[in-house]
Chains A and B, each alone.
Chain A
Amino acid sequence: MRFKASIQNITTFTKLTASLNSLGPLAWVKLSDDQVCFTIIPEQGTQVWAALSIDTIFETYTVQSAANNVINLEVPLGPLNRALKSALNATSAQIRLTKKDSMPLLALTIVTTSSSNSYSAFPTGASNDGGLDAPFDDSFGGGNRETIITQEVPVRVLAPDTVAGLHEPQCREPDVHIILPPLLQLKSISDRFTKLALAGARSGPGSTASRTRLEMAANMHGCLKMSIKTDAMSISSVWTDLSNPELDPGQVAGGEIGISEHPSTRMKLLGSADGRSEEGWASVRIDGRDWGKVMSVGRLGGRVIACFCHEHALILYVYLPSDNGEDESVLTVRDLALAFLITPLNN
């Protein structure tokens, strides 16, 4: 069993692990010839299914195993994220699977060069960019310091049959799909809603209702509504002029006919673009805290499409920003990086 790769995009990898770590402490990582998958299935809360093409984070990647060159690992995300953070201004970073005292671990080998006069392990806002400060280096004891850092993250290797039963759940075709507004905006509002609801809940008698019921709804006319109701109040925010991406006949079962029969086509007939109509909303009630954790993925800066199955499911698909200059308006399955399956609350 061999796995070795150099990390090409440390920032993305770090942000990815940080986002995933908000949802659960452990991830199942599947390394195969063509992709790296991260799966988080917490006991309760949101499931994440992420599949990244190798070159999103790695280069010179080798994976070998007796099971079709697939390696399944259970990885603690906190330590992995911490380890990756120390590589943020590295000149090179390598990751490999190895063993020490018969314990498997992922070893990160990071080479950093810091000029003698900038003493900071992590890039700060005003980091000096080598060239400008070069003249001072020699006066301070001879040029750059090269440091090699090894970070060892303990992992568990999972047998193929342990993970054989893992499949991304299938869900019916969504009633509404919509591109979400910037997540930071969404997050700050939903966090505030949740706080208000909790403040209300605490005062109530026998306040054990730790769950805050956030109702998310969207229509096919570019509207998203987020609301929260308690005994004492009802607040909601509505976004308008968002976009509902067109479906690609090539991707929908049944092609053109499939689209004409698609639930979202029917939803288009209902509701209005000002968000005032009572009709045409597909809504799902979710836990406000769960939502807050999911919003953590915003740091990756991708575009997010929310798929609503009315009173049934809410799935967020995150498309990582691609740097190859493709037309951003077309999102293909290839760009899809993460899927968040948010557990709806019952009744």
Chain B
Amino acid sequence: MVILNFTLTPEAASKIHDLLVCLGKFSDTVAIEARRDKFAFTALNSSKSAYAALTLDGKHFFSSYECIPSHGGPDGRFTCSMYTKALLSVFKGRLYDPLGRDGAIDRCEVTVQERADETQCRFIVKMVCNQGVIKTYKLTYEAVEVMHALFDRNVAKNRWSMHASAMKEYTEYFGTKTEMLDIFAGEDGRAVFKSYTEKISNGKEILKHPLVTAVAVNTSDFEEFNVQPGLHIIISVKDFKAIVAHADTLKTSLKAFYSHPTRPLQFSYGCDGLLCEFTLMTSGEYNGATMTPTPAPQIASRANSRAQSAATENRSVRSEMPPPVEPASRRSERRRISGQKRAASPKPQADHESLFVNQEEEDARWEPVDYTNEEETLGWDASADRDAANFPTFRDTGSFSRQETTDSNEGIAPSQRVSQIKGLW
């Protein structure tokens, strides 16, 4: 029997929305792990190539937080797993709105109901809105064991950090359908972020090859840049974009830690009691250049001391199991397949996060209309529901029989609802 109650300010609730949007890009389900002093969302993607852990500090993130796990003493935890989409439909966008418009809340209270005297176990979210409206959502969850990916920052001697907004700007140059991102530390004082796709090379298919984009950034523009010159490291560009987009919502700096290709890479950022860590699988050299696993000594020593200090002050126990190490030969293959699979599934929400917005809106007027899109009906009364359309008459108390109307209900819907027209007579 666990006790888990916490309260969120509107700002914190909207941060939960943002992080769920980000986690949704990795996995359909999100795991929750609550401890006495902190709360974490974790997600592992289906190919197990990316692991995300977003830790919310009990004291700083929440306006109140109480968690007493049923067993395990001070180290005990409560874990469960939920559909990301289900949580997202509760933690909608615009929960925080200083003007108090539609959707804005006053606070958010969450409790977990897991008691022997209750028939149902539920994750209960209460959105206390303005004007005394309270929306209560009861979500089901699945009890699971939560695994953690282990990442040893002492070994990750290559590190850089940059403001997420700048990094977001760079990701916007990337073509839309690319799969891989090669992060390359040049020897000329530049770091190159290159998005590309493995070759499809036969005849006409060449032209379908997505854009290859390389963004060269002066290392002096980084807040910190300590990477062995000449080192290439490859991750999934989609993962990177998702991480950068989320980091950008927090307006913080994105830090990267890695050792060498085929070893995990970690991105880390956070503020105001929220710490985000993404551990990603990396793959080998693009263009097959040889690489030396040992970094230059002076960088190593500096990075080392930094890492140790970071590790000591850093979070507590990480005793759990790392994800299984895959054979290197299979890794890139799998990555590619999963990339394609994900690309196939429509992700409409990716669009409105882009900074293209203004440009696109301007452009959209000139785009040919997609008539197959059912959502976009005629300019007037797009919300006409089927029921209204079933009445061929202008009177609510239509004297026509239903029989007759079913034949004609496939015609063009009336341009206004009857109720709206009433005032005219």
Contact = CB atoms under 8 A, between A and B. Distances in A.
Q: Which 9 A-B pairs rank lowest in CB-CB distance, beginning with the nearest?
A: A119-B165, A121-B172, A152-B212, A203-B410, A299-B366, A148-B216, A293-B368, A121-B169, A150-B214
Contact of B359 (A79, A88, A184): A88
A187 interface: yes
B275 to A, nearest CB: 22
A119 B169 contact: yes
A22 B367 contact: yes
Interface in B323-371: 355-359, 363, 365-369, 371
Contacts of A121: 168-170, 172-173, 355
Contact of A149 (B173, B207, B411): B173
Nearest to A288: B371
Contacts of A152: 211-214
Interface of B: 163, 165-166, 168-170, 172-173, 175-176, 190, 199, 201, 204, 206-218, 220-221, 223, 355-359, 363, 365-369, 371, 377-379, 410-412
Contact of B166 (A26, A145, A202, A298): A145
B392 to A, nearest CB: 13
Nearest to A298: B366
Contacts of B411: 200, 203, 232
B211 A153 contact: yes
Interface residues of A, number: 59
A105 B209 CA distance: 11
24 contacts: A18-B366, A75-B207, A79-B211, A86-B173, A105-B212, A114-B169, A119-B169, A120-B355, A122-B358, A123-B358, A124-B355, A147-B170, A147-B218, A150-B214, A150-B216, A151-B173, A151-B212, A151-B213, A203-B411, A232-B412, A289-B368, A295-B366, A298-B366, A299-B363
Interface in A149-163: 149-156
A8 B173 CA distance: 20
B340 to A, nearest CB: 18
A52 B223 CA distance: 45
B212 A120 contact: no
A76 interface: yes
Interface in A189-209: 191-192, 194-196, 198-200, 202-203
Contacts of B173: 86, 121, 149, 151
Contacts of B378: 192, 195-196, 199
A342 B170 CA distance: 40
B215 A119 contact: no
B277 to A, nearest CB: 23
B218 A141 contact: no
A289 B373 CA distance: 14
Interface of A: 18-19, 22, 26, 74-76, 79, 82-83, 85-86, 88, 101, 103, 105, 114, 116, 119-125, 141-142, 145-156, 184, 187, 191-192, 194-196, 198-200, 202-203, 232, 289, 292-293, 295-296, 298-299
Given A86-B173, A121-B169, A122-B172, A199 B214 contact: no
Contacts of B163: 119
Contacts of B208: 76
A298 B204 CA distance: 31
A231 B194 CA distance: 55
Contact of B412 (A83, A146, A191, A200): A200
A103 B223 contact: no
Contacts of B379: 192
Nearest to B172: A121
Given A124-B358, A192-B379, A203-B412, A19 B366 contact: yes
B206 A154 contact: yes
A26 B207 contact: yes
Nearest to A23: B368
Contacts of A151: 173, 175, 211-213
A218 to B, nearest CB: 22
Contact of B216 (A74, A79, A149): A149
Contacts of B221: 141, 145, 147
Contacts of A105: 212
Given A149-B213, A195-B369, 5 more contacts: A124-B355, A145-B218, A194-B371, A199-B412, A296-B367
Contact of B366 (A88, A103, A147, A187): A187
Contact of B218 (A82, A146, A292): A146
